[in-house]
Structure 1
Amino acid sequence: MSSQPSATKDELSHNIAVYTGSFDPVTLGHLHIIERASKLFDTLVIGIGINADKKSLFNPDERIELVQRICTHLPNVQVQTFDGLAVDFVRSLGAGVMVRGIRPLTDIAGEFTMMMANRQLDADIETVFLMADERFAHVSSSLLKQIAALSEDDDHLAKFVPRAIIPSLRAKLTALPN
């Protein structure tokens, strides 16, 4: 977790962007946003949020490993965990941009509200929205957990999550108490 001192306004870099989320687990929609954002910025940090009050399927170290596993082809992507406010984490990295992926209709109102709150907290950090590709507009972590629990066909699951994480997802779901 980040404990670095915060950057001043003049030290914030718009060449560094941060994409925050729970990534529990990382989906094809997340990966698509990561790949696109990695082309726009010199450095993209994937910030995996830690919320002790939220029941997660994967622990923070497992989520880091899963995201790193699917981003090996992206040399400018780094993965870190954080707790607390996303804008504080972004500033601690010296980044001037937050990347947010949005799905049509389902995320726009919530993401707009979050962006406005973040601007009140730190007006120097810009938010860039990347619209989810239509192939991934319906994908959510909760949906894929349901599909994984009900379907034993990895081809079905591979329509929602990177194939590289399917064994880990299956193992985690098998280990859960019924």
Structure 2
Amino acid sequence: MNIALFPGSFDPVTKAHVDIVKRSVGLFDKIYIGIGVNSSKTSFLSIEKRQQMLRSVFEHEPKIHIIAYEGLTVDFCRSIDANYMIRGIRTVSDFEYEKGIAQMNHTLAPDVESIFIVSKPGYSALSSTIVREIMRHNGDVSQFIPKEALAFL
């Protein structure tokens, strides 16, 4: 069985995240969307709210499972029997950053392969960080967030 993990903060989930997941579904038997818990960062949304939001967005996709995790991502991959880690790439700087992480992950867990999915051009500037900043200033984020997620913001 080909199992993949798509890790991230999803704080909040964006249409770019959804696009990467939807384009990955046909490649794997099961995809875990892993919400990484980083105790050194202050989140905008609670873990519970992000789980609810993602479950709402992907409720009709039986291959997708939403779960929060803490610790090294490669260790979490092993715990769920994931052979693959999906990462979205928007820009050249994303690639450089993700390449370094993938190489370190490969050293730590050679059995987990990183798969890079390049974002569609319309999503290359879209990030959770930018969406959070718009939200902090009471801006309209509806064009950046899946409609199912808006109720959780």
- TM-score, normalised with respect to structure 2: 0.94
Tell me which residue corresponds to 2:131.
144
Matched residue of 1:147: which SS?
helix
CA contact (8 A) 1:35 1:74 kept: no
Match of 1:158 among 129, 139, 142: 142
Cα pair 1:20 1:49 within 8 Å, conserved: yes
- Offset at 1:101? 0.7
Q: Which is higher, the Rg of structure 1 or of structure 2? A: 1
Q: Does 1:34 align with 2:21?
A: yes
Query: Is 2:45 the counterpart of 1:45?
Result: no
Aligned twin of 2:122: 135
Alignment of 1:69-148 (within 5 A): 69-148=56-135
Counting matched residue pairs gives 153
- Identity over the aligned pairs, expressed in percent? 35
Paired residue secondary structure (1:101): strand
In structure 1, the residue matched to 2:10 is 23
The alignment yields a C-alpha RMSD, in angstroms, of 1.3
Gaps of 5+ in 2: none
Deviation at 1:152, TM superposition (A): 4.8
- Helix, strand or coil at the partner of 2:44: coil
SS in 2 for 1:95: coil
- Residue 125 of structure 1 aligns with an amino acid whose one-letter code is V
1:51-66 matches, cutoff 5 A: 51-66=38-53
Deviations 1:132-171 (A, max 9, x none): 1111110111111222334554xxx2221112222322xx
CA distance in 2, matches of 1:18, 1:60: 17
Distance 2:61 2:152 in 1: 21
Structure 1, unaligned runs of 5 or more: 1-12, 170-178
Larger relative contact order (Cα-Cα within 8 Å, sequence gap ≥ 6): 2
